[in-house]
Structure formats: structure tokens, C-alpha cells
Amino acid sequence: MAPFLSKRDLSFQLFEVLDSAALPQRPRFAEHSREIYEDILNLAYTVAERHFAPHAREADLNEPHVVDGKVRLVPGVAQALAAFRDAGFFSAHHDEELGGLQLPRVVMQAVQAHFKAANIGTSGYAFLTIGNANLQRVFASPEQQQRYMLPLLEGRWFGTMALSEPHAGSGLADITTTAAPRGDGTYSITGTKMWISGGEHELSENIIHLVLARIQGAPAGVRGISLFLVPRYRIQEDGTPGETNHVVLAGLNHKMGYRGTTNTLLNFGEGGETIGELVGEPGRGLAQMFYMMNEARIGVGMGAVMLGYAGYMASLEYARERFQGRPASQKDPQSPTVPIIAHADVRRLLLRQKAIVEGGLALGLYASSLVDDLQTGPEDAREDTHLLLDLLTPLVKSWPSRYSQDALSDAIQVMGGAGYTRDFPVEMYYRDNRLNPIHEGTEGIQGNDLLGRKVTQAGGRGLQVLLSRMQADLRASEALEGLGEIRTALSTAVSQCTQALQALLSQSGRIGPDLYLANANSALEMLGHTVVGWMWLRQAAAAARALPTARGDDADFYRGKLHAARFFATHELPRVRAHADLLASVDRTTTEMQEAWF
Amino acid sequence: MAPFLSKRDLSFQLFEVLDSAALPQRPRFAEHSREIYEDILNLAYTVAERHFAPHAREADLNEPHVVDGKVRLVPGVAQALAAFRDAGFFSAHHDEELGGLQLPRVVMQAVQAHFKAANIGTSGYAFLTIGNANLQRVFASPEQQQRYMLPLLEGRWFGTMALSEPHAGSGLADITTTAAPRGDGTYSITGTKMWISGGEHELSENIIHLVLARIQGAPAGVRGISLFLVPRYRIQEDGTPGETNHVVLAGLNHKMGYRGTTNTLLNFGEGGETIGELVGEPGRGLAQMFYMMNEARIGVGMGAVMLGYAGYMASLEYARERFQGRPASQKDPQSPTVPIIAHADVRRLLLRQKAIVEGGLALGLYASSLVDDLQTGPEDAREDTHLLLDLLTPLVKSWPSRYSQDALSDAIQVMGGAGYTRDFPVEMYYRDNRLNPIHEGTEGIQGNDLLGRKVTQAGGRGLQVLLSRMQADLRASEALEGLGEIRTALSTAVSQCTQALQALLSQSGRIGPDLYLANANSALEMLGHTVVGWMWLRQAAAAARALPTARGDDADFYRGKLHAARFFATHELPRVRAHADLLASVDRTTTEMQEAWF
């Protein structure tokens, strides 16, 4: 089987594009070193390869089902999560006093990338648990953290996020699950939650749901939503799980892919009382949940990157080993056939995958490095970092979700009929990844978030920070060899973005919010491609700096980076223009379409 | 369940965009009338709805498997094909003396569209059989037609095409299956064929394989390939199937989708002799097979169109019925939620689907009308028609295969999590259609065919015919209202195509065939989008002519056509430029990439 990621590339991204080796200069990471990070990444590779990858197809073929009232999963899932726990990955980024290693977020993201590439379905249980604990670390009371969070850090209990309801998937303002005060500070939770990943299983001693609900009498809309900690089993005085809390599995969803992760319909308060604890202040539920959600959105984007990455590696191996056909210039039918990687169109399909998945990886890790900068970087830069991260989050979520699907389609195409069969993993990755443009905020939601909120917040400061960072990298690259095409193409794209947004924003008052947002999808496309173009400039610059003294495989690696940047410049960045033109023209095609005309 | 196609649109395409009602003026169709065509289309809808659609999901969930040495399919497959046979659809386009109705190809294509939309997997058996018989009708001897073709026309036996081998999928020049003369005019066939759809089943009394093989001593390459009729069961003196012909099922392929159609690995000459009959002259096998293949390529394109169409209809119904969210301008959380079709981004996703599937349908039917023109149109136009059809075939095959996949992704996206589950059919269509860019010639093969052969053949005459037809429609549209955007966008795209091809062709001698073909994919994209833009101009023109006197639903229908044409002009045709620029620049990014750099 092909490797599921390139260790060389991950090292390049962390230590040559980003300056992660300098993180130990910050007090929180003073005990660390590049060697420690590399050891941890090697451990992640080993655990992912030995415990996650082997049952990925088995879990796909045997989706979760209910036997005697219990959700049954293939045995590899529990074994893999035990290995993940034993390696300490549930808490590695937490404080030492909580049992963690205080790993930087960017290193943690790189660790997690291995499990996503090796087995996205099984890794889902771990990452929901980690996200749940991270939210508690910020918003839950010390007593709540003691009771509900510590068992998650130890990997003994697992966590979920329970937002959607059957009538309200994207439209969270309309949720109706209610919380009735029980008089002792706790609440009685009643309602139904839909699309709850990891909502029911026997993998852990308990499951802690983070549930959005309305306290009786709360106002309509998002201001009336509060957040609750709701355990599957009520927690006894000694902290161990006790009797049922009446969270009842009402059904499993049967998905096209991502099958290893149980997805459930849950009834709260069925056949008895479901008791929950309020987190933080009433009415702050959605804002608090967005702490987890923003992290989850970067996580979804990284999941998409890694599915695409695994598909790229599989199709690359196939293209090197499969012999078929001859160059168009070779007319002798008795000449030997060539490996299909020699055909220009196969190389196009591989280059496009490389450009997408390595560009997406650079973006996901860059965003994670901003999380570190927010927490441990220079104080005076944090406000700008915060606004930049806010602006990038919808792009980090949506761009890889969309373009990894294209990359995976290319992986299938490289392999032809073989890629369409279950003899190879790429068809599974393709099915798995199609969830990513949907969950944790659909493409439509990301577009509205980007154009309706992030582009304009703080007077457009986030966009200014982005533009100035891109311009700084463009200027710095002028001294380097071999970057002409990516620099020119990126400059052009940045100008097109700037002009389009200026044109649109100058009319926003006059045209009103509906028309302003009508082409938000083009804003996602335009800025997404431009930001990934920037990531390619940064990678190309790092490669250009290293190439003069590189030898052998290293030199080939850097030439590949420079060439993939050129590919992104010549084949991908020219797409920006059409989207910029559409935005700038305030195109009304979608708003003027009438229902009856369909 | 949503309808799988729009009868109103099919009627519009046949009788308002195309002039199919005039076909009865041709002698071959003298007994026909528009009413007869409409009755036959209604029959097709009924048979498809009652017998094909109901078991589509069941066949997807229970893929073909072997029990006691026999391939087992769900029972609905045999029942559906019996209904198809009873309706006379196996032979409806054949001569009356062969039991047919002499239906025009364009009507036959419209008939077949129903079965593809309702159940692509089951319809596969029928269309392989029809294609096999069509080839025999042209190239097989009268005796062979009597023995091998007539039972196919009666739907008693089924047919396949057996080209690929395990080491040679796209690279047919390297097939090694051999045919040894037996001295009595027949041949002993030995070899292994891969990816054979409908290769083994118990649906019919016999299976007739059309097999490519090399007669012993034949030259290497395509000139050494001959075509053979190879029955599963040897045919007895009385024409009935007798003993086994030793075509042995060596394995079933397990596919991501299109699961209803058995796909097989077959050994010829295993455990005994496989006897076959040569079709036509030795060494003409590939040329003859391309008669079936060209028809199959249009058929694949139409299959893609109809999968996309069925997905569009399903997501449109969902978008009308699902209430969620509010317009951005509506700030009152207590205001009622709206059907999601009211959201601009959902309307974009629906408009894009409409633009793709109705544009693709127009293209597939147009190509079929050219087949009629070739066979029954004015004699003096046939050479031009032939060259135009040749030029369009790779586009008819590849454009819907690729863009219906985008449309189906949009259908899933409209439905969100629901679209990702097996509760709705769109995830199945998405898996099914992913085969279409692979089989009957991959995208890479179509690109090379288009740019390497069709654009230049007969001194570029096919391209000239295409351009002059597009220009004629552009001129004719100037008198009509409401076509400004599509006319301008199409004119621009036509100019971009022309200039790009001129720039490339002017250098073709200097740059050699490998570099000339390096960006063939962009030629597919550029000409594909432009040709579909032309199809939208033609549809918009028909709508503009009809709108002034239309009322009610009809007026809405025509406005929808005009608006979808506008969408294609504003959202899709601007993609042409980037591909044209890449082609014109003779971009070397893929050819200069080295294997070691990946």
C-alpha cells in the first residue's frame, strides 16, 4: 500500500515554510525542540500506519449498525483509539499539569493529519473528543472541567457536539430543544438532535454531549440559545458513570462515505429525564459553540486535505508502476510501453493533485500557526492575528473540501477503471471527502460568513492584514530565482480580488444584504484560490532558498515544489478572474431567477 | 419520488429546438408523425417509471455476486428488461422488415434517455445489446446477422463489447488475445478480457461477445487487430444455444457505482475451445469496433446527462419542500422560515444543474439528429455532417460526463446532509456517474482524439462546419429579444477558441506531437463549454420565439430557458478564456515536469 502522506513534505511545511523550529523560544514551549517535534510526528506516523490504516476499508464495508440495542463497530476502531490514547494524543497540546505536553497547535495539527489520512472515520471519534475538551477548557467552570473534561483528556470518555435538529441543520436560529431549570442549578433537556457524529457507541465509558438548547422563556433566535453539558450516563459522586441519562438513539444515518464515524439521531429526555449542566452564561450558547466550531472548521479543512493527500499518494504510486501506451511521437507499435506517469495528461492530473493537497496542507498549517500566535505570539500582534484567522477560517474549511474532491476525482482518473473499484482506496476517499463541503457549515454558510462578516469586520482590517502579508511575501520573493510565474500570477490575482471587493463594497449600502451576498460563492472561490496561490509562493520561496545547496532527492523535492507552484500559476490562478468579474458586476442572475421558472 | 426527467423539456428539445416533427418528410420515416413520436416517448416514460426506477436502489445495495457458479442479480433487472423487450425497444430504430419501427435516431435517443435516468445499471444490458446489433447490421455478413443479430433485436440474447485486457485498458494497440484459424473459417479464441460489462449473467438465453483479437501472425499494433463474434453458448444448427463455448467468468469487479451492471473479467478458451467468427476483413477490427464505440460514446454522454437530470429533479423537489433559514435582509427571528429554493446560493446550485443537464441534453440530441442527417438527410450535406459529428463526439462523451458530476455534487449540496445519505437517490447518481469519464475512452483519450485527430482531419473542415453553424445561429438570434448576454458571451468564446486553435496549429509542426497534445484537456474544456453555450443560444432562441404568445406554465418554462441561458453566459462561459490562453501559449508545465520531482 502507498504511504498516506509524505513525511518529507510535512517536515518542509513545518520547518522550512513555517518556522516551527523557533517555537521553543516561546516560554510555553521552552522544553521543546525540533527533534522532539520530529519524534512525535514519527510516533504519529507509526500509530496511524499500524492501528488506523489497516481497518479503514473494513469499516467502510461494515458501517455501524445496531445489534441488541447497541451500536456495533468493527473491532479495529476501538483498538486504534486505544493506541491513540496510549500515545497521549488526546491531551498532547494541554498544559503539563493536565497531563499534556504543551504541544503547539501547529504541531498538534500535523500530528492529527496522520490519522485523518490513514482513517478519517475512526479519527472522527478522537477529534470530536479533543474539540469538546478544548471548549470546556475555555468556557466550563473548574468543577465542570474536573468532572467532564479530565476523562476526555485521558481518552476514557468521548465527546460530541449536538447542534442540528431535524428541521434545523444549517438554520440553528430555529432549534427547539428546551432546557427546563430543575431548581438545583441543573436543567432537564428535551428535544431531538440530528446528524450527531459519535452520538452513540460502546467505545468509551461515557459520552459527553455539548448540546445547544433554549432555556424556557428564552428569546427567539440565536440570542436565546444556551450550551449544556449532557452525559450519556449520569455521573456519580465518585466521578464514575452511573445510571442512564435517557439520551436515546433514535436512528443511524446511512452515508455515502465517512462510514466509520457513527452518525445519529438522538432523543433527549425519552423514557426519563435527561439532565444537563449549563456552560457559562445563558444565551451565549452559539458564541461558545463557535469556539469549538471554528476549530472544527479548520479540522474539516485539514481532513479534506489529508483525504486528498492519501489519494494523491495512491494514484502517484499507481502511475509509476502501471505501464500502458506510448508517447504520441512514438509510432512503433513494437516499442515498449511506458509507465503512465510519462503521459502529459496523467502528469497534469498528478500535478493538479499535488498543487491542491500540498497547497491545502500549507494553508491548514498556516492557520494553525496563527492559533499559536494568538495564544503565545507577541501580544501586540494578536488583534491582527485574530482578524486574519477569522477571515481565513471559511477558506481553510471550504477550499480543501471542494478542491480535494477535484483532486480525488483526478486520482480516480489516473487509475481509470481500477480507481473506480474497491481494489484501491481512492473511491473510498472520494466518497468520504464529499461530506466535507457539507458538515460544520455548508459552502453556502462559509460564503456568507466570508463576505457578510469576515471581509467587513473591524472595518475590513482582517482583509488589510491579509493583503499586506501577501504583498510582503511578494516583495521578499523578488530576490529569488525561478518564481516569476507564481509571483506574476499571484500579483494579478491579488489585484483582481482587491478591485472586485472594492467594487462590490462600494455598492453594498445601495444594493442591500441579499444582493450583496448573492455571489458569495464567487468570493469563496476567488479568495480561496488567491490565498492558496500565496501558500504556493511561500512554498516556492522556501524551495528557491534551499535549492542552490540541495543535492539528490532533496534537490528533486525542491524542484517539484517550484514546478507545482508554476502549475498553480498557469493552470489554477487564471480561474480567479471570472469570479472577480462576476462579483464586481453585482451579477443578479441568481436573485432574478423565479421559482416558477425552474 | 421526484420525476426523473421533464417531459416538457424533452418535447421542447425535440420539437422546438430541433425540428424532429419534420422528420416524417423523409421517405424512411414517412409512416411517422409527431403524435406517434410522442406516444412512444410516453410509453418509454411509463415502462421506465414502472419497471426500471423501482429497483434502482435495491440493485445498488445488492451488487451482482456469484452463487453456485451463476451471477445473481436482483429480480427487478430481468423483469425490467422483459418489459423493455415487450415494448419493442430493442429494435425500434431498425427496418420494418427486421421487426423495427424505423424510428429516427434522435427519437430513439430520447426514448433511451428515460431508462438511463430511471436506472442506469439495468439499462446497460439493453444498450450494450442494441449497440452490438447495430455494429453487426453494418459489418456482419447476412448469415451472421441471421444467426447472431436477430436474437438480439428480439431481446432474447444480449450482447457485449470485449476490448480491454488486464494490461491494456486504454492502450488497445497492445492487446494479446489471439485467434487461431480452425480450418473451417472459424477461429479459436484465447485470452483474457477485462472490464466487460454484461459479460456474464442469466438474463438472456445467450450472450454474444464482440471480441477484439489478433489472428496468429498478424502485425503488431492496431493494424493487427480483428473483430470476432463469440457466443457464450455455441449456436446449434437450428439457431438455438447449445453447449458451452468456454468463455469463463474469472471474476467480478466491485465498483463504486453503476452497480446494477455486472462488470467482469472473462477468460476465453479456458477448459475447452472458444470458437469465434471473424467479422468483415482481418485487421479491420478496431475500425469496425469504433462504429459501436462512437455510438457508445454518445450513449455514455447521454447517460451522464440523464443521471445529472435525475439528480437535478430530485434536488429541485427537495428545495421547494424543505423550509429553512431566512433571507439575509430578514432580521426578525420569529418570521417564518422560507423554502430553501429562496436562498440565492441554493438557486445558484439549481441553476447550474439546469444549465448543465439541459445543455447536455440539447447536445446529445443534436448529435443524434446528425446521425439521422447522415443516414437520411440531404446527400450533399452528408460529408460535412459526418465531419461535424466526428468532431463533436469526444465533446458529447466527455462534457456531460464531467459536468454532470459537478451538477450531481450541486444536487447533494442543495440537500445537505440528507443528500449525503441513502435516504435520497442523489448520492447514488453521483457514484454512478463517476464511471462516465472513464469508460468508452477516458478523458485523456477524448482530448487526444479531439485535438490530435478531429480538429485537423480533412484539413480542419469539421471545425469550419462547426464555426459556420455557430455563426449562423448567432446571426439569426440578433432579431430576438432577451438573448443579449448569451449572444455576447458565446461570440467572445467562439473568438477565443478560434484564436487559441490558430495559435496552436500554427506551431504544431515546430513543436511536435507530444507538446501539441500536452494541453488537450484544455481543448476539451474550451470547445466543450463553447459548444454547450451554442446549445444554450439555440434553446434561448427557441424560447424567445415562443414566449410572446405563451401563457401560464408555458411562459414560465420559456423564461426559465432564457434565464438558464443567461446563467450559462454569466457563470460558465467566462471559464473558456483561461483554457484558451493556456492552449495558445503552448504551456509546457506538464511536459517539463519530471517524474523524480513528484
CB of B552 within 8 Å of a chain A CB? The answer is no
Interface test with A, best of B256, B536, B594 (most A CBs within 10 A): B256
Report the C-alpha gap between B514 and B150 in whole angstroms. Answer: 45
Residues of chain A positioned with their CB less than 8 A from the CB of B344: 514, 517-520, 590-591
State what percent of residues in chain B have pLDDT above 70. 100
Q: pLDDT tens, B39-49?
A: 999 999 999 99
Q: What is the pLDDT of residue B1?
A: 77
Residue numbers of A between 378 and 397 with CB closer than 8 Å to B: none
CB of A598 within 8 Å of a chain B CB? The answer is yes
Q: What is the dihedral of CA A350, A356, A359, A364, to 10 degrees?
A: -130
CB contact (8 A) between residue A520 and residue B345 = yes
State what percent of residues in chain B have pLDDT above 90. 97
Q: pLDDT tens, B304-342?
A: 999 999 999 999 999 999 999 999 899 899 999 999 999
Instruction: Locate the chain A residue with the closest alpha carbon to B347.
Output: A590
CB contact (8 A) between residue A591 and residue B344 = yes
A45 grid coordinates? 506516523
Is the separation of the CB atoms in A159 and A131 below 8 Å? yes
Report the C-alpha gap between A439 and A296 in whole angstroms. Answer: 10
In terms of Cα–Cα distance, which of A367, A389, A260, A361 is closest to A302?
A361
For residue B192, the cross-strand partners are: B267
In terms of Cα–Cα distance, which of B547, B542, B539, B545 is closest to B567?
B539
Give the CA distances from residue A101 to residues A39, A88, A96, A142, A300, in Å, rounded to whole numbers and listed in that order. Answer: 13, 9, 6, 20, 24
Q: What is the pLDDT of residue A291?
A: 83
Report the C-alpha gap between B486 and B538 in whole angstroms. Answer: 10
Domain B14-283: CATH class, spelled out: mainly beta
For residue B265, the cross-strand partners are: B251
Task: Give the max Cα distance, chain A.
Answer: 87
Smallest Cα distance from A154 to chain B, Å = 32
Residue numbers of A between 257 and 296 with CB closer than 8 Å to B: 257
Interface test with B, best of A253, A264, A345, A434 (most B CBs within 10 A): A345
Collapsed DSSP state (helix, strand, coil) of residue A271: coil
B111 grid coordinates? 426514448
Instruction: Locate the chain B residue with the closest alpha carbon to A258.
Output: B420
Of 1.10.3720.10, 2.160.10.10, 1.20.140.10, 3.40.50.300, the CATH number of B285-328+335-441 is 1.20.140.10
Is the separation of the CB atoms in B583 and B526 below 8 Å? yes
Residues of chain A positioned with their CB less than 8 A from the CB of B518: 344
Write down the H helix ranges in B254-381.
285-321, 344-376
Q: What is the pLDDT of residue A1?
A: 77
In terms of Cα–Cα distance, which of A176, A209, A216 is closest to A192?
A176
From A219, A333, A413, residue closest to B437, measured CB to CB: A413
Give the CA distances from residue B582 to residues A571, B568, B575, in Å, rounded to whole numbers and listed in that order. Answer: 8, 22, 12
* Backbone φ, ψ for residue A497 (5° rounding): -60, -50
Residue numbers of A between 496 and 525 with CB closer than 8 Å to B: 512-514, 516-521
Q: Which of B16, B358, B440, B525 is catalytic?
A: B440
Q: Could you tell me how far CA A170 lies from the centroid of its own chain?
A: 18
CB of A347 within 8 Å of a chain B CB? The answer is yes
Reported confidence tier of residue B291, pLDDT bands at 50, 70, 90 = confident
Which residues have C-beta within 8 Å of that of residue B67, sequence separation ≥ 6?
none
Give the CA distances from residue B555 to residues A2, A178, B14, B543, B560, in Å, rounded to whole numbers and listed in that order. Answer: 57, 47, 18, 9, 9
Residue numbers of B between 20 and 49 with CB closer than 8 Å to A: none
Q: What is the pLDDT of residue B170?
A: 86
Is the separation of the CB atoms in A419 and A427 below 8 Å? yes
A361 grid coordinates? 496542507
In this structure, the strands spanning A207-215 and A158-162 are parallel
Sign of the C-alpha dihedral computed for residues A243, A247, A250 and A254 taken in this order: negative
Q: What angle do CA A170, A171, A172 make, to 5 degrees?
A: 100
Report the C-alpha gap between B591 and B582 in whole angstroms. Answer: 13
From B320, B556, B574, residue closest to A597, measured CB to CB: B556
Is the separation of the CB atoms in B205 and B238 below 8 Å? no
CB contact (8 A) between residue B513 and residue A170 = no
Report the C-alpha gap between A233 and A151 in whole angstroms. Answer: 13
Residues of chain B positioned with their CB less than 8 A from the CB of A440: none
B219 grid coordinates? 502485425
- ipTM (interface predicted TM): 0.98
From B354, B444, B587, residue closest to A343, measured CB to CB: B444
Active site residue A440: yes
Q: What is the pLDDT along chain A (598 residues), one digit of tens a residue?
A: 799 999 999 999 999 999 999 999 999 999 999 999 999 999 999 999 999 999 999 999 999 999 999 999 999 999 999 999 999 999 999 999 999 999 999 999 999 999 999 999 999 999 999 999 999 999 999 999 999 999 999 999 999 999 999 999 888 999 999 999 999 999 999 999 999 999 999 999 999 999 999 999 999 999 999 999 999 999 999 999 999 999 999 999 999 999 999 999 999 999 999 999 999 999 999 999 988 888 999 999 999 999 999 999 999 999 999 999 999 899 899 999 999 999 999 999 999 999 999 999 999 999 999 999 999 999 999 999 999 999 999 999 999 999 999 999 999 999 999 999 999 999 999 999 999 999 999 999 999 999 999 999 999 999 999 999 999 999 999 999 999 999 999 999 999 999 999 999 999 999 999 999 999 999 999 999 999 999 999 999 999 999 999 999 999 999 999 999 999 999 999 999 999 999 999 999 999 999 999 9
CB contact (8 A) between residue A578 and residue B578 = yes
CB contact (8 A) between residue A512 and residue B329 = yes
Helix (H) or strand (E) holding B497: helix B484-505
Interface test with A, best of B193, B195, B589, B592 (most A CBs within 10 A): B589
Report the C-alpha gap between A345 and B46 in whole angstroms. Answer: 43
In terms of Cα–Cα distance, which of B118, B164, B256, B145 is closest to B208?
B145
Q: pLDDT tens, B473-496?
A: 999 999 999 999 999 999 999 999
Residue type, A320: R
CB of A78 within 8 Å of a chain B CB? The answer is no
How far separated are the first and last CA of chain B, in Å rounded?
A: 47
pLDDT over threshold 90, residue B446: yes
| Per-residue buried b or exposed e for A579-597, using 16+ beta carbons within 10 Å of the residue's own CB | bbbbbbebbebbbebeeeb
CB of A325 within 8 Å of a chain B CB? The answer is yes
Q: Average pLDDT, whole number, for chain B? A: 97
Residues of chain B positioned with their CB less than 8 A from the CB of A342: 595
B320 grid coordinates? 421547494
Report the C-alpha gap between B515 and B493 in whole angstroms. Answer: 24
From B333, B431, B438, residue closest to A417, measured CB to CB: B438
Is the separation of the CB atoms in B474 and B490 below 8 Å? yes
CB contact (8 A) between residue A324 and residue B170 = yes
Q: Which of A165, A200, A440, A525 is catalytic?
A: A440
Instruction: Locate the chain A residue with the closest alpha carbon to B485.
Output: A589
What residue ranges in A178-262 does DSSP mark as E strands? 178-181, 186-197, 207-215, 225-231, 233-235, 241-244, 247-252
Q: What is the pLDDT of residue A201?
A: 98
Residue type, A409: S
CB contact (8 A) between residue A413 and residue B582 = no
Is the separation of the CB atoms in A427 and A363 below 8 Å? no
Collapsed DSSP state (helix, strand, coil) of residue B229: strand
From A194, A345, A574, residue closest to B444, measured CB to CB: A345
Q: What is the pLDDT of residue A39?
A: 98
Instruction: Give the count of beta carbons closer than 10 Å to the beta carbon of residue B149.
Output: 25
Report the C-alpha gap between A347 and A571 in whole angstroms. Answer: 13
* Backbone φ, ψ for residue B188 (5° rounding): -100, 120
In this structure, the strands spanning A178-181 and A186-197 are antiparallel
Instruction: Give the count of beta carbons closer than 10 Å to the beta carbon of residue B242.
Output: 13
CB of A439 within 8 Å of a chain B CB? The answer is yes
Report the C-alpha gap between B242 and B239 in whole angstroms. Answer: 9
Instruction: Give the count of beta carbons closer than 10 Å to the beta carbon of residue A297.
Output: 25
Report the C-alpha gap between B416 and A443 in whole angstroms. Answer: 10
Residues of chain B positioned with their CB less than 8 A from the CB of A348: 521, 590
From A328, A513, A597, residue closest to B560, measured CB to CB: A597
CB contact (8 A) between residue A438 and residue B560 = no
CB of B182 within 8 Å of a chain A CB? The answer is no
CB of B574 within 8 Å of a chain A CB? The answer is yes
Helix (H) or strand (E) holding A590: helix A589-592
Cα Rg for chain A, rounded, in angstroms? Answer: 24
Is the separation of the CB atoms in A500 and A584 below 8 Å? yes
Report the C-alpha gap between A74 and A65 in whole angstroms. Answer: 10
Q: What is the pLDDT of residue A110?
A: 98
Q: What is the pLDDT of residue A232?
A: 98
Give the CA distances from residue A401 to residues A258, A301, A511, A527, in Å, rounded to whole numbers and listed in that order. Answer: 14, 6, 31, 15
Report the C-alpha gap between B197 and B260 in whole angstroms. Answer: 10
Q: What is the pLDDT of residue A185?
A: 96
Smallest Cα distance from B546 to chain A, Å = 15
* Backbone φ, ψ for residue B343 (5° rounding): -80, 135
DSSP secondary structure, B506-517, as one string: TTHHHHHHHHHT
